[in-house]
């Protein structure tokens, strides 16, 4: 019989698309490309890290059918854990924030996972792990396998798909796994590659990068990026610059992509594309800028594609 792939084998090797037509007033030889991470089985970039973490744990005998796994997540990692736990025979417990979209919460439950919603969701997951040592904690914020997954997959794919022409990489950060793993790989191939973090206004990363001091976080609505503290996985030595992006800029970019290009993506993808466009306008020489379309906009219909929610939470909300 002819061998065919299973759904679980489709993680990674995502397409890369050209978004240069979105740019205005840029050097004629500047190109903007984006990895379509919403084509992963769980519709987000987080499938990469969960597959890598689970594979390593299984090789070491720490995970086997019947194991119980735990993940603190703003949504996408939780969905990836729930999905992969379903097909590997684990019981998943996901702890997320009230900020998580209803669609992502519903997806986590649909995969059969138990969902806990807590304001201090990372602290709640730590407490659960301490109280039950038999739980396997994915621990994406401190687990070095997080950036390692991107070092071994997303980074090489970007390099190969651009045939080494990439000059800039920009994306948001939460755990720091994506930006650090990709940065490490690309800089090893070509040291002059510039890596720029896109950070929501209200997150502490921008000020920490500029001053080395941890400022006070302020509210923002874009999910899956930014933080109130510095995760252990984050390595600012691998970041060359930080661009701030407001909720409004990120959301309006998402809605423009959907309405003008038929490309429906999540808020962090809007943030990434806005950063890429801003970075493109800075270039005085030829450049190939690569960013990441993190997940599908179908996970945010009730939020960034809902006029009432946007009016109440974006246009009436300002971070000073």
The string of pLDDT tens digits covering residues 135-163 is: 999 999 999 999 999 999 999 999 999 99
Q: What is the pLDDT of residue 317?
A: 57
Examine the fold and report which residue of 137, 167, 188 is the final residue of a domain before the chain moves on.
137
With bands split at pLDDT 50, 70 and 90, how would you rate the model's confidence at 25?
Answer: confident
As annotated, the active-site residues are 46
What does the block give as tokens for 315? 């246009």
Q: Are residues 250 and 182 in the same domain?
A: yes
Examine the fold and report which residue of 137, 159, 188 is the final residue of a domain before the chain moves on.
137
Q: Are residues 79 and 200 in the same domain?
A: no
CATH of the domain at 56: 3.40.50.1100
With bands split at pLDDT 50, 70 and 90, how would you rate the model's confidence at 319?
Answer: very low
Order of strands across the sheet with 136-137?
Answer: 114-117, 91-96, 68-72, 136-137
Q: Are residues 261 and 305 in the same domain?
A: yes
Which tens digit of pLDDT belongs to each residue from 58-116?
999 999 999 999 999 988 999 999 999 999 999 999 999 998 999 999 999 999 999 99
With bands split at pLDDT 50, 70 and 90, how would you rate the model's confidence at 320?
Answer: very low
Q: Is the pLDDT of residue 315 over 90?
A: no
pTM: 0.94
Whether 144 maps to a domain, the answer reads no
Closest CA to 266 of 244, 292, 290, 299: 299
Q: What is the average pLDDT value for the chain, to the nearest integer?
A: 95
Q: Are residues 123 and 165 in the same domain?
A: no
Q: Are residues 127 and 183 in the same domain?
A: no
Whether 212 maps to a domain, the answer reads yes
Q: Are residues 206 and 300 in the same domain?
A: yes
* Alpha helices (H) in 89-239, listed in sequence order: 102-110, 121-131, 145-152, 154-161, 177-189, 205-211
Whether 106 maps to a domain, the answer reads yes
Q: Are residues 201 and 247 in the same domain?
A: yes
Structural domains in the chain (count): 2
Which tens digit of pLDDT belongs to each residue from 167-203?
999 999 999 999 999 999 999 999 999 999 999 999 9
Domain range enclosing 163:
7-39+150-311
């Amino acid at each position: 019989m002819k061998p065919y792939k299973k759904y679980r084998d489709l993680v990674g090797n995502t397409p890369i698309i050209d978004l240069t037509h979105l740019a205005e007033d840029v050097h004629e030889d500047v190109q903007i490309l984006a990895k379509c991470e919403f084509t992963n089985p769980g519709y987000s970039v987080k499938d990469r890290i969960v597959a890598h973490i689970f594979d390593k744990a299984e090789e070491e005998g720490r995970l086997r059918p019947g194991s119980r796994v735990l993940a603190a997540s703003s949504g996408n990692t939780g969905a990836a854990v729930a999905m992969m736990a379903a097909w590997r025979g684990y019981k998943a417990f996901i702890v997320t924030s009230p900020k998580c979209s209803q669609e992502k919460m519903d997806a986590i439950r649909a995969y059969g996972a138990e969902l806990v919603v807590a304001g201090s969701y990372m602290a709640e997951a730590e407490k659960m792990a301490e109280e039950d040592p038999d739980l396997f904690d994915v621990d994406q914020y401190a687990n070095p396998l997080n950036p390692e997954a991107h070092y071994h997959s997303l980074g090489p794919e970007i390099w190969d798909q651009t045939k080494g022409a990439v000059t800039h990489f920009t994306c948001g950060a939460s755990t720091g796994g994506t930006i650090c793993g990709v940065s490490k790989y690309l800089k090893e191939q070509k040291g002059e590659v510039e890596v720029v973090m896109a950070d929501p206004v209200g997150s502490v990363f921008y000020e920490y990068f500029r001053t080395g001091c941890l400022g006070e976080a302020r509210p923002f609505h874009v999910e899956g990026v930014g933080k109130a503290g510095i995760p252990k996985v984050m390595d600012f030595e691998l970041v060359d610059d930080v661009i701030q992006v407001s909720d409004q800029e990120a959301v309006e970019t998402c809605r423009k992509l959907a309405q003008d290009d038929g490309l429906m993506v999540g808020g962090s993808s809007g943030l990434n594309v806005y950063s890429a466009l801003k970075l493109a306008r800075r270039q005085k020489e030829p450049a190939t800028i690569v960013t990441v379309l993190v997940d599908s906009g179908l996970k945010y219909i009730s939020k960034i594609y809902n006029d009432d929610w946007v009016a109440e939470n974006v246009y009436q909300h300002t971070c000073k």
